[in-house]
Structure 1
Amino acid sequence: MTPGTDVTLWRIPLPEKSPGPQAWALLDDRERQRAERFIHDRDRHRFVAAHAGLRLALAAETGQPPRALGFTATPGGKPQLERHALSFNLSHSGAIAVVATCRGSAVGVDVEMAGRLRDLDGLAGMVMTPDEQARFAVLPQDLRQVAFMRVWTRKEALLKADGRGLTYDPRKVEVDIDDGAERTVVLEGISWTLRDVALAPDLAAAVCVSGPLASIRQRSVAPLA
């Protein structure tokens, strides 16, 4: 039997206020420039906290100083580490960011705050396959919000792991709308494993890896002053 991939999911709290000089000091010049372009203070604070937390998580995994980590990107634009085979992916929503890390497989993660979305049928038509739409249309009203977020996080995690993100039409990917721990999806000849992750009652999240998935363990990055 082929051994599966072990994934670590790092949780990073994102503050409303500035995360402070320690967080800013971890960022490189490009990250600081991106942070300064945010118009709203809260968005800037959360970007800095998320990317400082990303560096701390990757430093813990690689043994390298967080400030010394260098990044490149795949042809599709997915960030990756220079000079290290560790795979990672970052997602954030509201007051939390998560970083998925693993070795030997591509990885993607998506986290979304549960909310009261409008025009769910219209949104479903933009992201779901015809079969998913048909099953979604007959769900009771009280289950539709959760089901939509389940489908969305699964598809985004898969397409982020694949490296193309939403440049690839999500309506071409079947992930099912049912609740469940795990499913296998084949995308253009490559087998991917998707697993929903319980983070908090108001969060939907999913992790995806190429090949089998053995385990997901959760860790936390301590807030920086």
Structure 2
Amino acid sequence: MSQPAAATNAFLVATQRALDYAGFAPPSPGATCVLVFDSTLWNTHIASVHGLLNAVEQARAMRFRFERDREPYAVGHAVWRIVLAACLNVPISAVPLVSTASGQPHLPGTRWVTSLSHSGSWVAIAVGEADCIGVDIERSPSQMNLSALMPRFCTPAECVQLSGLPTPLRETRLLALWTRKEALLKAFGTGLNEDPASMAAAENTIVAAPASCGRTAVCHVRDLDLPASLVGALAVPAGAMSHRLYWLDRCSNDVYGCNSAETSIRSN
């Protein structure tokens, strides 16, 4: 085995070990899953991950100026392809992952949908057999002054509701709201082409697609149960049954562990 092939194989083994310890299994129809991990756990394999990316992903990775941005992108996309290969039951090289004109991930020829988010070294991957899906994670506290950005992404009612809160609490609530709107816009396939200030996104609610979506999608958005250093949200079709959250974490040496939990995502 050549050195590059051996390195790639080591990365595959490490990733599969993480998934096995997590108890990961492709979600059943109507369910979704989210995997969250710190990409620095794969730093010892960073030289080999590019071999799992397609030409577009490799080119984009190389456009990042700093390693702190390049490495999470490359590791995140490589793990993403491994997860999708397991869900689709195809070789990694056969995963039909492409981007739409608006930059949203698409798996043509399949019933599967997927979404990816990263913040710093942290990565979240969502996948399921559904009409749409969107995930977003952010580090907490935010590095942005969200209070100053309120008019740009909050509805007038949200601005009134949040403006009277003490600054620390307001920033916390705004970050959660930000992730919910990001997840919804990804699920609807519009990205930031749609004005987030035109769409309310209370936690654990049903939200109708904006007119620019071009379809009558209705999504359920909920906050993810993450450690205090992270905030995240998941948006899925309103009829989706449940989601399972997989937390990939290094225990010792090259052994990984995970806490996973299944949660109902039906609205109350």
Pick one of 184, 199, 211 that aligns with 2:238.
211
CA separation in 1, counterparts of 2:228 and 2:119?
Answer: 14
Counting only pairs closer than 5 Å after superposition, residues 168-187 of structure 1 correspond to structure 2 as 168-176=194-202, 180=203, 182-187=204-209
- CA displacement at 1:51 relative to structure 2: 0.5
Superposition TM-score, scaled by structure 2 size: 0.74
Superposition TM-score, scaled by structure 1 size: 0.87
- 1:131-183 per-residue CA deviation (whole Å, 9 max, x = no partner) reads 0000011112331121011110000000010011111000100113xxx5x11
SS of alignment partner, residue 20 of structure 1: helix
- The answer for unaligned runs of 5 or more in structure 2 is 1-28, 211-215, 255-268
Higher relative contact order (CA 8 A, sep 6+): 1
Does 1:32 pair with 2:54? no
Does 1:14 pair with 2:39? yes
Structure with bigger helix share is 2
Aligned pair count reads: 217
Amino acid in the other structure paired with 1:102: G
CA separation in 2, counterparts of 1:42 and 1:116?
Answer: 18
- 1:2-52 per-residue CA deviation (whole Å, 9 max, x = no partner) reads xx9311102232128464343222112221111111111221111110110
Q: Which moved more, 1:188-197 or 1:150-159?
A: 188-197
Please tell me whether the aligned partners of residues 141 and 172 of structure 2 are also in contact (alpha carbons under 8 angstroms). no
SS of alignment partner, residue 15 of structure 1: helix
CA separation in 2, counterparts of 1:12 and 1:119?
Answer: 26
Pick one of 162, 171, 174 that aligns with 2:188.
162
- CA displacement at 1:220 relative to structure 2: 5.1
Please tell me whether the aligned partners of residues 188 and 217 of structure 2 are also in contact (alpha carbons under 8 angstroms). no
- 1:191 corresponds to which residue? 218
Q: Which moved more, 1:166-175 or 1:187-196?
A: 187-196
Classify 1:82/1:187 alpha carbon distance in 2 versus 1 (closer, same or farther; 3 Å). closer
SS of alignment partner, residue 87 of structure 1: strand
Does 1:104 pair with 2:130? yes
Classify 1:80/1:221 alpha carbon distance in 2 versus 1 (closer, same or farther; 3 Å). farther
- The answer for unaligned runs of 5 or more in structure 1 is none
Q: Which moved more, 1:65-74 or 1:134-143?
A: 65-74
CA separation in 1, counterparts of 2:206 and 2:69?
Answer: 35
- 1:52-72 per-residue CA deviation (whole Å, 9 max, x = no partner) reads 011011111111112321323
Classify 1:46/1:203 alpha carbon distance in 2 versus 1 (closer, same or farther; 3 Å). same
Please tell me whether the aligned partners of residues 147 and 171 of structure 2 are also in contact (alpha carbons under 8 angstroms). no
